[in-house]
Amino acid sequence: MSISIHDVTKENKEDILSLSVSESQTNFIETTEQCLDDAKEYPEFKPVGLYSNKELVGFAMYGYFPEEMKNGRVWLDRFLIDAKYQGIGYGKAMLTALIQKLVQEFSCQEIYLSLYEDNQSALRLYEKFGFQFNGESDINNEKVMVKII
């Protein structure tokens, strides 16, 4: 499996917008359209497409927020695998690649994310990667998790 991560461009934007999670997950994450709107409003966010063998299978949005804490925080703010690609290992493969990219791009020692605690499949995945709750909640009352690199 050849994994690559690409910026959202006018060439792949329509494909990105066509991604969606399964019906049972729609309350846990924004649509890709909402994510791209957020990225326009907050330039710290970087939306990307997640590819396996040049086929788009998912989406993520991350960024560095210097105003948070004394050294800032790197956030993996959105992460989704399209419904038709779920359950076959893409989540693990893409999260591995994203963590490597964030560490390389930001030279960070910690990566933050937030999720609703009842999103059990995402919680299990993040815990496998060493993310742990830090006792904080974000503005949407999602629980904050952190991975120490």
111-124 per-position pLDDT tens digit:
999 999 888 889 99
**pLDDT exceeds 90 at position 1:** no
Handedness of CA 84, 92, 62, 2 (dihedral sign): negative
Answer yes or no: 126 catalytic.
Answer: yes
CB contact burial 111-139 (16+ within 10 A = b; e otherwise): bbbbbeeebeebbebbeebebebeeeeee
- The CA distance from 15 to 49, in Å, is 9
Burial degree of 71 (CB within 10 A; 0-12, 13-18, 19+): exposed
Mean local confidence (pLDDT), 15-30: 86
Can you give the pTM of this predicted structure? 0.92
The CATH H-level superfamily of 3-148 is Gcn5-related N-acetyltransferase (GNAT) (3.40.630.30)
Q: Indicate which residue of 62, 90, 112, 126 is catalytic.
A: 126
The model's pLDDT over 127-147, given as tens digits with 9 standing for 90+, comes to 999 999 999 998 888 999 999
Residue whose structure tokens are 């490597």? 100
So where are the chain's domains?
Answer: 3-148
**63 falls in which pLDDT band (50, 70, 90)?**
very high
CB 63 within 8 Å of CB 45: yes
